[in-house]
Amino acid sequence: MIETTVFAMQVLLLVMGCLFFAVGTLGLFRFSDTLSRIHALTKVDNLGLGFIVLALLPLAPSLAGGLKTVLIWAAALAASATSAHLIARAVHVRPEPPEAKESADD
Protein backbone atom coordinates (compact mmCIF):
# COMPACT_ATOMS: atom_id res chain seq x y z
CA MET A 1 0.00 0.00 0.00
CA ILE A 2 2.71 2.46 1.04
CA GLU A 3 4.83 1.38 -1.93
CA THR A 4 1.98 2.14 -4.32
CA THR A 5 1.43 5.57 -2.74
CA VAL A 6 5.15 6.41 -2.99
CA PHE A 7 5.19 5.22 -6.61
CA ALA A 8 2.12 7.34 -7.45
CA MET A 9 3.75 10.38 -5.81
CA GLN A 10 6.95 9.79 -7.80
CA VAL A 11 5.06 9.58 -11.08
CA LEU A 12 3.13 12.74 -10.22
CA LEU A 13 6.33 14.62 -9.29
CA LEU A 14 8.14 13.46 -12.44
CA VAL A 15 5.27 14.55 -14.68
CA MET A 16 5.08 17.93 -12.90
CA GLY A 17 8.84 18.35 -13.25
CA CYS A 18 8.71 17.67 -16.99
CA LEU A 19 5.73 20.00 -17.42
CA PHE A 20 7.60 22.82 -15.71
CA PHE A 21 10.61 22.25 -17.99
CA ALA A 22 8.28 22.42 -20.98
CA VAL A 23 6.74 25.67 -19.71
CA GLY A 24 10.22 27.12 -19.16
CA THR A 25 11.06 26.36 -22.79
CA LEU A 26 7.76 27.91 -23.86
CA GLY A 27 9.08 31.09 -22.25
CA LEU A 28 11.86 31.18 -24.84
CA PHE A 29 9.22 31.51 -27.55
CA ARG A 30 6.59 33.65 -25.86
CA PHE A 31 8.82 36.32 -24.32
CA SER A 32 10.35 38.73 -26.78
CA ASP A 33 13.39 40.03 -24.92
CA THR A 34 16.46 38.26 -23.58
CA LEU A 35 16.00 39.23 -19.93
CA SER A 36 12.39 38.04 -19.68
CA ARG A 37 13.43 34.77 -21.29
CA ILE A 38 16.05 34.28 -18.59
CA HIS A 39 13.35 34.80 -15.95
CA ALA A 40 11.44 31.89 -17.46
CA LEU A 41 14.44 29.59 -17.84
CA THR A 42 15.96 30.11 -14.38
CA LYS A 43 12.86 30.06 -12.20
CA VAL A 44 10.68 27.51 -13.93
CA ASP A 45 13.54 25.08 -14.61
CA ASN A 46 14.70 25.38 -10.99
CA LEU A 47 11.26 24.24 -9.88
CA GLY A 48 11.07 21.51 -12.53
CA LEU A 49 14.45 20.07 -11.53
CA GLY A 50 13.41 20.32 -7.87
CA PHE A 51 10.34 18.18 -8.53
CA ILE A 52 12.37 15.60 -10.47
CA VAL A 53 14.99 15.40 -7.69
CA LEU A 54 12.19 14.93 -5.11
CA ALA A 55 10.72 12.15 -7.23
CA LEU A 56 14.07 10.37 -7.48
CA LEU A 57 14.96 10.60 -3.76
CA PRO A 58 12.96 7.47 -2.70
CA LEU A 59 14.94 5.52 -5.34
CA ALA A 60 18.31 6.55 -3.87
CA PRO A 61 20.35 3.42 -3.04
CA SER A 62 21.87 4.98 0.09
CA LEU A 63 22.10 8.16 2.15
CA ALA A 64 25.15 9.15 0.10
CA GLY A 65 23.20 8.54 -3.11
CA GLY A 66 20.36 10.77 -1.90
CA LEU A 67 22.79 13.51 -0.92
CA LYS A 68 24.41 13.25 -4.35
CA THR A 69 21.03 13.78 -6.03
CA VAL A 70 20.39 16.86 -3.88
CA LEU A 71 23.91 18.13 -4.69
CA ILE A 72 23.06 17.92 -8.40
CA TRP A 73 20.11 20.24 -7.80
CA ALA A 74 22.26 22.63 -5.73
CA ALA A 75 24.94 22.71 -8.43
CA ALA A 76 22.34 23.36 -11.14
CA LEU A 77 20.85 26.19 -9.04
CA ALA A 78 24.24 27.83 -8.51
CA ALA A 79 25.07 27.50 -12.22
CA SER A 80 21.69 28.85 -13.28
CA ALA A 81 21.84 31.86 -10.91
CA THR A 82 25.40 32.68 -11.99
CA SER A 83 24.83 32.34 -15.73
CA ALA A 84 21.54 34.27 -15.48
CA HIS A 85 23.37 37.11 -13.77
CA LEU A 86 26.21 37.09 -16.33
CA ILE A 87 23.82 37.23 -19.29
CA ALA A 88 21.72 39.92 -17.57
CA ARG A 89 24.83 41.99 -16.92
CA ALA A 90 25.99 41.62 -20.53
CA VAL A 91 22.57 42.78 -21.81
CA HIS A 92 22.49 45.62 -19.28
CA VAL A 93 25.95 46.88 -20.25
CA ARG A 94 25.29 46.58 -23.99
CA PRO A 95 21.51 46.58 -24.65
CA GLU A 96 20.14 44.72 -27.66
CA PRO A 97 19.62 47.02 -30.64
CA PRO A 98 15.86 47.22 -31.46
CA GLU A 99 16.42 46.27 -35.12
CA ALA A 100 18.04 42.99 -34.07
CA LYS A 101 14.76 42.03 -32.42
CA GLU A 102 12.84 42.83 -35.61
CA SER A 103 15.06 40.72 -37.84
CA ALA A 104 14.83 37.81 -35.40
CA ASP A 105 11.13 37.59 -36.26
CA ASP A 106 11.74 37.10 -40.00
Partner 1 sequence: MQPASPVVTFVLRGAALFVVWWALTLGEVSGLGFGAVVAVLVAWLSLRLFPPSGFRLRPLGLLLFFGYFLSRSVVAGLDVARRLLSPALPVHPGEIILTLRLPEGSPRWLLANTLSLMPGTLSALLEGDQLTLHCLDTRDPVERDVRETERQVGRVFGLTFDHARGAAL
Question: Which residues lie near partner 1 (CB under 8 A)?
Answer: 20, 23-24, 26-27, 30-31, 33, 35-36, 38-40, 42-44, 46-48, 50, 61-65, 67-68, 71, 77-78, 80-82, 84-85, 88-89, 91-93
Whole-number CA gyration radius for the chain: 18
Angle made by CA atoms 9, 20, 46, in degrees to the nearest 5: 95
Nearer to partner 1, 94 or 99 (CB): 94
Q: How far is the CB of 88 from partner 1 (least distance, A)?
A: 4
Instruction: Give least dist CB 98 to partner 1, A.
Output: 15
Dist. CA 42–CA 51, nearest whole Å: 14
Asked whether 36 and 30 are in contact (CB, 8 A), the reply is no
